[in-house]
Structure 1
Amino acid sequence: MICIDYACDNCKHQRPNIDGWNCACDAFPEGIPGKFMCYSDPKKLKECNNGIGYEPKDKKAER
């Protein structure tokens, strides 16, 4: 799964994709679960996982 146009794509905690394909971040270092990406809005959650929540990379990300 590639992060394209998901809220995760604009989060400052995003990491390079695992094996060039699976999305990863500080909250999900082993890979962001597909159900999480498809059925939740990280911007509305207090925390995604491991005490880490969505934080925009810059002001433009908060559209």
Structure 2
Amino acid sequence: MAKEKACRKCKALTSGKVCPVCKSTDLSPDWSGIILVFDPAKSLVASTLEITTPSRYALKVQ
């Protein structure tokens, strides 16, 4: 199983080479914490973190 990486721009998690949310290739293997966003329109945490797309996100990316 491939180790997941986090996008440095939007913090989305991926096991590929391109971010599924913002299409960036600036990925980091050094991240911590995880948040799952199912409905960003109704989520206070998603609005605080400025997340608009349902996905899995890292809380901290180096």
TM-score, normalised to structure 1's length? 0.29
Between structures 1 and 2, the one with greater strand share: 2
The higher relative CO (CA closer than 8 Å, separation ≥ 6) is in: 2
